[in-house]
A and B are shown apart, each in its own frame.
Chain A
Amino acid sequence: MKIKRTTKDTIAGYLFLLPALLAFVIFIAEPLLAAIFLSTTEYNIIHPYNFTGLKNFEQFLQDERLSQIYWNTFKFVIILVPMHMIFGLMLALGVSRVISKTGKYIYRTIFYFPVLVTTAAVAIAWQFMYDFDFGVINYFLNSLGFESIYWLTSPYWVYLSVAIFSLWKFVGTAFLYYVIGLQNIPSTLYEAAEIDGANRIQTFFRITLPLLTPTIFFVLVTTLIGATQIFDEPYLITGGGPLDASRTISLYIYEIAFQYHAMGYASLVAISLFLIILLITILQFSLGKRWVYYDQE
């Protein structure tokens, strides 16, 4: 029987989607459903699970460490997200002003290179730098007449130390997205603005920023999700300490799952994080409609 061209196209479309769909089902959907089920069980991965109903949920409500850890995560989000977004944009704008192609290439490499190196390796170097007694950062602070800072052992300074490391290591990602976004703004608009006598500030706020809003929105969504799930930086730099001062939800989930062997409770905490991120993302998308400008040309 001759299959209609449209049905053939539909089949072809689904087949093209198949690898991505399979990856989604195997690595995202199935683990999520498994986590929802496991959250109602007691399971230590060695022995079969034990169905416990809402016991994990009761523990969740009574967990004294949880509120502090959620608050830590929130603090990281409000520090890291603006830092990554603003610095990323500043670097991208700076690089866009470099006239020489070689210069542009060199700067892009410099700013993106830290993203490529192994986080664990550079974290060791940064720990040495942050050392209170022997670290180079405090050495320079002392030579300028300042007191040494407890970078890794003060519950206040740990946020800055993790944030600085995170910014150095990962700002390249936001920077790259902004570079691409800036390249997509037609140069004719800048030429027209120059002819009309617009200065740099007016050009930035009337042309660059509005046309960059889709990129800013994308960076905001991804950076916010990343900051809420932050694990590498606090794990490698402070270990979550001192005490729980820099412990984030992701670190706590890791601790419950792999040190306490309570996979059921860890699954419940992971689901709570998932729901929070989902709500924030839905909110962002609905608010985004008000300020994101998509060029309809």
Chain B
Amino acid sequence: MKKVLILCLIVILSIALAGCGNGNEQSTNGSSAPKNTNNKATGNEKQVELTLAFPGDDGKKELLEKLLETFYEENPNIKVNILYVASEGWGDYFNKLQTMVAGGKAPDVVRVAIEGIEMFVQQDLALALDEYMDANPEVIGDYSDIHPKLQDPFVIDGKTYGFAWDWNNVVMHFNTDMLKAANLPVPSKDWTKDDFIEYAQALTSEKDGKKTYGFAIPNYYFGASAWLFNNEASVLNEEMTTSKLDDPNAIEVMQLFQDLIYKYKVSPVPNPNTDMINQLMAGQVGMISAGKWPFGSYMKNDFTAIDVQFLPTLKTNKVIFGVGAFPVMKSTKHPEESYKLTAFLSGPLSQTNVLSSDSIPARISVMTEVLPKTPATNWAIYAESADIAKAVESPTEYAAIAAVFDRYMSAILSNQMDAATAMKKAKGEIDAILKK
């Protein structure tokens, strides 16, 4: 009898194991509203449940769920499940979204940055929203309020794939306590490369075994690209068909980064996952180049000794920008409802209530209202830069190209290769990726 019971248990376990592939592998956090069964009609409107994918490390969970309560009041037949996707950077996040699509569990609406929109459109994953905009224009509100330069990356081949929600750029952040200790003011917006090196040298010191450095090298694609743009260089050409990293202007920037560490000795050696925001707050470095995103950390840590300025002018002064939106996936079974959600998420209420400190609203009216609250004297450079900014290069193969760039950058910053050799090799690999 005992044997029979054990055998029955084993058979049940085997059946459960064989069926385990249908289980839900992803952690989901439901919205604050109660869930309804999919497609269950209530009154005249069909009840619909949507899934919204959001990067798990953005720290906006509570704000987002509170915001959605307003969406539910306006759209009682739609419920939203937010899927927080843990990832390390945009490339990793896009890879995970692609895996979800391949696994047949594509979300309806996804948070996507400019770095991924080209890939989503080329892979035929994103839904063009034009017909829904024509049918329901009031949902978008004042479309012209979205800064046209920031909206442009989401209009591809004349079709609209998203509405710009937030954006970021790269400027110089200063630990103003360290500036004061070195008797330095925040530089003016037309400061030069030589001024920058002087500042970095003045902020570098060693006292009683405690080292401080002038500047933390931006060892990531977006941050380094900002410096390339300022030297009239770039990772790719305009058509994004070939790499321009072998251009002397590009090599000059990367060599500068290497020299800042090993020749001028004003920058610490960056580790693969160095957190330069923490280094700035801890007084280990005096300057970092980043966008608005560090302000979230500054406010959490009550760090107020901060100010910003444009990056130093090298051969020119162009500001880089990256922008995010909420495209709708083509595989959605509820395109109209997804359109309403994406329009709501990109609307002024969402931008005002959710974006808080660490990114810049893409709507002009909200930018004008929110940016003056930035706890930095030079907050206006964020508003000024929207008109002159240049989009970060975001080809379809962004993840692979960024990986090549980061790999060769690590070789330069670890002094394993000079900039010219590294950048020529990087160009070779990037061109091979683009050819495929």
Q: Taking CB as reference atom, which chain A residue is nearest B125?
A: A46
In the complex, what residues of A have CB within 8 A of residue B91's CB?
259
Asked if A132 and B268 sit within 8 Å, CB to CB, the answer is yes
Asked if B123 and A47 sit within 8 Å, CB to CB, the answer is yes
CA distance A244 to B417 in the complex (A): 12
Asked if B10 and A15 sit within 8 Å, CB to CB, the answer is yes
Q: Which of A18, A127, A240, A258 contacts B95 (CB 8 A)?
A: A258
**With an 8 A cutoff between CB atoms, is B21 at the interface?**
yes
In the complex, what residues of A have CB within 8 A of residue B183's CB?
none
In the complex, what residues of B have CB within 8 A of residue A154's CB?
414
In the complex, what residues of A have CB within 8 A of residue B279's CB?
134
CA distance A18 to B8 in the complex (A): 12
**With an 8 A cutoff between CB atoms, is A153 at the interface?**
yes
Asked if B272 and A239 sit within 8 Å, CB to CB, the answer is yes
Q: List residues of B (99-142) whose CB comes within 8 Å of A's CBs.
A: 99, 101-102, 123, 125
**With an 8 A cutoff between CB atoms, is B408 at the interface?**
yes
0/1 interface trace, chain A 116-139, chain B, CB 8 Å (1 if under): 000000001001001111100001
**With an 8 A cutoff between CB atoms, is B433 at the interface?**
yes
Asked if B269 and A242 sit within 8 Å, CB to CB, the answer is no
Given contacts A12-B3, A26-B21, contact A241 B272 (CB under 8 A): yes
Given contacts A243-B408, A245-B416, contact A134 B13 (CB under 8 A): no
0/1 interface trace, chain A 210-243, chain B, CB 8 Å (1 if under): 0000000000000000000000000001111111
Closest approach, in angstroms, between the C-beta of A217 and any C-beta of chain B? 31
Closest approach, in angstroms, between the C-beta of A7 and any C-beta of chain B? 14
**With an 8 A cutoff between CB atoms, is B407 at the interface?**
yes
Asked if A46 and B211 sit within 8 Å, CB to CB, the answer is no
Q: List residues of B (1-44) whose CB comes within 8 Å of A's CBs.
A: 3, 7, 10-11, 13-14, 17-18, 20-21
**With an 8 A cutoff between CB atoms, is B277 at the interface?**
no
CA distance A260 to B400 in the complex (A): 5
Asked if B269 and A133 sit within 8 Å, CB to CB, the answer is yes
**With an 8 A cutoff between CB atoms, is A45 at the interface?**
yes
Asked if A259 and B407 sit within 8 Å, CB to CB, the answer is no
In the complex, what residues of B have CB within 8 A of residue A242's CB?
410-411, 413-414, 416
Closest approach, in angstroms, between the C-beta of B261 and any C-beta of chain A? 10
Closest approach, in angstroms, between the C-beta of B204 and any C-beta of chain A? 11
**With an 8 A cutoff between CB atoms, is B399 at the interface?**
yes
In the complex, what residues of A have CB within 8 A of residue B3's CB?
12
**With an 8 A cutoff between CB atoms, is A255 at the interface?**
yes
Q: Taking CB as reference atom, which chain B residue is nearest A47?
A: B123
CA distance A154 to B211 in the complex (A): 21
Asked if B411 and A150 sit within 8 Å, CB to CB, the answer is no
Asked if B211 and A133 sit within 8 Å, CB to CB, the answer is yes
Asked if B125 and A26 sit within 8 Å, CB to CB, the answer is no
In the complex, what residues of A have CB within 8 A of residue B20's CB?
26
Closest approach, in angstroms, between the C-beta of A215 and any C-beta of chain B? 30
In the complex, what residues of B have CB within 8 A of residue A150's CB?
269, 414
Given contacts A23-B17, A242-B414, contact A261 B98 (CB under 8 A): yes
Given contacts A244-B407, A259-B95, contact A239 B14 (CB under 8 A): no
In the complex, what residues of A have CB within 8 A of residue B151's CB?
none
Contacts between the two chains (Cβ within 8 Å), count: 109
Asked if A22 and B18 sit within 8 Å, CB to CB, the answer is yes
Closest approach, in angstroms, between the C-beta of B392 and any C-beta of chain A? 18
**With an 8 A cutoff between CB atoms, is B403 at the interface?**
yes
**With an 8 A cutoff between CB atoms, is B215 at the interface?**
no
Chain A interface helix/strand/loop/mixed: loop
Closest approach, in angstroms, between the C-beta of B123 and any C-beta of chain A? 5
**With an 8 A cutoff between CB atoms, is B188 at the interface?**
no
Q: Taking CB as reference atom, which chain A residue is nearest B407?
A: A243
**With an 8 A cutoff between CB atoms, is B213 at the interface?**
yes
In the complex, what residues of B have CB within 8 A of residue A12's CB?
3, 7
Given contacts A132-B268, A241-B407, contact A22 B17 (CB under 8 A): yes
**With an 8 A cutoff between CB atoms, is B273 at the interface?**
yes
**With an 8 A cutoff between CB atoms, is A152 at the interface?**
yes
Asked if A153 and B211 sit within 8 Å, CB to CB, the answer is no
**With an 8 A cutoff between CB atoms, is B284 at the interface?**
yes
**With an 8 A cutoff between CB atoms, is A186 at the interface?**
no
0/1 interface trace, chain A 99-121, chain B, CB 8 Å (1 if under): 00000000000000000000000
In the complex, what residues of A have CB within 8 A of residue B92's CB?
258
Given contacts A243-B416, A259-B403, contact A132 B269 (CB under 8 A): yes
In the complex, what residues of A have CB within 8 A of residue B416's CB?
155, 242-243, 245
Asked if A46 and B102 sit within 8 Å, CB to CB, the answer is yes
Given contacts A22-B17, A259-B95, contact A239 B273 (CB under 8 A): yes
Q: Taking CB as reference atom, which chain B residue is nearest A254?
A: B95
Q: Taking CB as reference atom, which chain B residue is nearest A243?
A: B411
**With an 8 A cutoff between CB atoms, is B271 at the interface?**
yes
In the complex, what residues of B have CB within 8 A of residue A244's CB?
407
Closest approach, in angstroms, between the C-beta of A269 and any C-beta of chain B? 16
Asked if B403 and A15 sit within 8 Å, CB to CB, the answer is no
CA distance A240 to B414 in the complex (A): 13
In the complex, what residues of B have CB within 8 A of residue A124's CB?
273
Q: Taking CB as reference atom, which chain A residue is nearest B411?
A: A243
Asked if A19 and B403 sit within 8 Å, CB to CB, the answer is no
In the complex, what residues of B have CB within 8 A of residue A142's CB?
209
Asked if A260 and B433 sit within 8 Å, CB to CB, the answer is yes
CB pairs A–B below 8 angstroms (23 shown): A16-B7, A16-B10, A19-B13, A19-B17, A22-B18, A26-B17, A26-B20, A45-B102, A46-B101, A46-B102, A46-B123, A124-B273, A130-B271, A134-B279, A142-B209, A153-B410, A154-B414, A239-B410, A243-B407, A243-B411, A255-B403, A258-B95, A259-B91
Q: Which A positions have Cβ atoms within 8 angstroms of B? A: 12, 15-16, 18-19, 22-23, 26, 45-47, 124, 127, 130-134, 139, 142, 150, 152-155, 237-245, 255, 258-261
Known: A15-B7, A152-B272, A243-B411. 4 other contacts (CB 8 A): A15-B10, A26-B18, A133-B211, A153-B410
Ranked 9 nearest A-B pairs via Cβ: A153-B414, A242-B414, A45-B102, A239-B272, A243-B411, A133-B268, A241-B410, A132-B269, A258-B95
